[in-house]
């Protein structure tokens, strides 16, 4: 009897792990809060990366991920059946970030913990390139950085991004192109600035922090 129950339970677990996000969210909506755990497993790492690449702040990213799941619980009744869950959760994620900055005005500074923490252990050159790239990205206005993060790291399709940002598909493509252009400019400038003192890891301090206005 016990054995059977256990087997039924594992089967249930497995079925749950294969269910589409939307079905799981409907269960959460109907009161099965524990089902949210499966969605957490699926989404917390991508969301963390979305935030950490966007804000460069690991602690804040952890906090915001938790906030997203708390909001899902609070507002689960507003999830409409048929809505793609991915679009919905990213919408919540964006709002959580905006609300956070509304409460705590942003001070973007290059603190040591904000530099990409885990660097690939390949060649020294690649290490340096990665760091430059990270900084080139962080120098961009958040709006442009966001569209790059969404398209390059979150693997959202352009249509999904268009829906998320509330703009046309063509606009998304134009904005991605412009963002890539700017990233390239920043990267080149950093490369040039670095050239004379190649192996200096302390460049972090030499780059003036860029202030972002409330242009989001």
Which stretches of the chain bind other proteins, using CB under 8 A? 33-34, 36-37, 40, 44-45, 48-49, 52-53, 58, 61-62, 65-66, 69-70, 73, 116-120, 126, 129-130, 133-134, 137, 148, 151-153, 157-158, 172-174, 176-177, 180-181, 183-184, 187-188
Nearest to 38 by CA among 65, 20, 63: 20
124 contacts: CB under 8 Å, gap ≥ 6: 199
Residue 87 or 116 having the CB closest to other proteins: 116
3-state SS track over 193-216: HHHHHCCCHHHHHHCCCCCCCCCC
Number of H helices, E strands in the chain: 9, 0
Residue 76 or 213 having the CB closest to other proteins: 76
CB of 80 to other proteins, least distance (A): 21
Residue 26 or 38 having the CB closest to other proteins: 38
CB of 189 to other proteins, least distance (A): 13
Nearest to 145 by CA among 63, 50, 38: 50
CB of 40 to other proteins, least distance (A): 5
Residue 3 or 172 having the CB closest to other proteins: 172
Residue 7 or 17 having the CB closest to other proteins: 17
- Token pair belonging to 165: 């940002």
Distance of alpha carbon 185 from alpha carbon 187, whole angstroms: 5
CB 53 within 8 A of CB 145: yes
CB of 132 to other proteins, least distance (A): 10
């Amino acid at each position: 009897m016990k054995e059977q129950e256990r087997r039924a339970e594992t089967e249930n677990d497995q079925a749950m792990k294969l269910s589409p996000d939307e079905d799981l969210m409907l269960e959460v909506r109907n009161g099965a809060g524990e089902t949210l755990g499966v969605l957490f497993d699926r989404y917390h790492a991508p969301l963390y990366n979305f935030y950490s690449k966007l804000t460069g702040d690991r602690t804040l990213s952890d906090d915001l991920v938790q906030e997203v799941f708390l909001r899902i619980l609070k507002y689960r009744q507003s999830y409409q059946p048929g809505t793609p869950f991915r679009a919905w959760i990213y919408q919540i994620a964006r709002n959580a970030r905006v609300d956070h900055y509304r409460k705590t005005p942003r001070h973007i500074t290059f603190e040591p913990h904000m530099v990409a923490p885990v660097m690939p252990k390949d060649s020294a050159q690649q290490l340096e390139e990665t760091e430059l790239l990270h900084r080139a990205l962080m120098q961009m206005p958040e709006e442009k950085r966001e569209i790059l993060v969404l398209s390059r790291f979150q693997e959202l399709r352009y249509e999904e991004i268009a829906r998320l940002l509330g703009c046309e598909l063509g606009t998304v493509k134009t904005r991605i192109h412009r963002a890539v252009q700017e990233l390239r400019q920043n990267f080149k400038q950093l490369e040039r600035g670095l050239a004379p003192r190649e192996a200096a890891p302390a460049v972090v301090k030499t780059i003036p922090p860029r202030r972002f206005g409330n242009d989001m």
